Amino acid sequence: MTVNVSDVERTLLDALDHPRLVGGMRRALDLFSTGLARADLNTLIGHAVRGSRHSTCQRVGVLLERRGPPGSQERTDQQAVERRRE
């Protein structure tokens, strides 16, 4: 029998809810940024709405807004690489 304790999305939210458990807010933000590539945004938002504090939902909103639309970070990274080649 398989028992799921957590998933990527819940773990990212837990890090933002309780940053001291992962080494502080800076580390929680780093984990969130890194883990976001593996997370399903619909699941992340659903978990946040159903089970996170209001302040965590606000943090997620700000972080997603700063990140931009899905795929925009990859385009920005590719543009930087192309500029270096010129």
**pTM of the predicted model as reported, rounded to 2 decimal places:** 0.74
Tokens standing for residue 2: 């398989």
Looking at per-residue confidence, does 85 or 9 come out higher?
9
Q: CA dist 37 to 8, 15, 32, 68, Å?
A: 10, 16, 9, 13
Tokens standing for residue 29: 């933000």
Longest dimension (CA), the chain: 55
Q: pLDDT tens across 16-68, in order?
A: 999 999 999 999 999 999 999 999 999 999 999 998 899 999 999 999 999 88
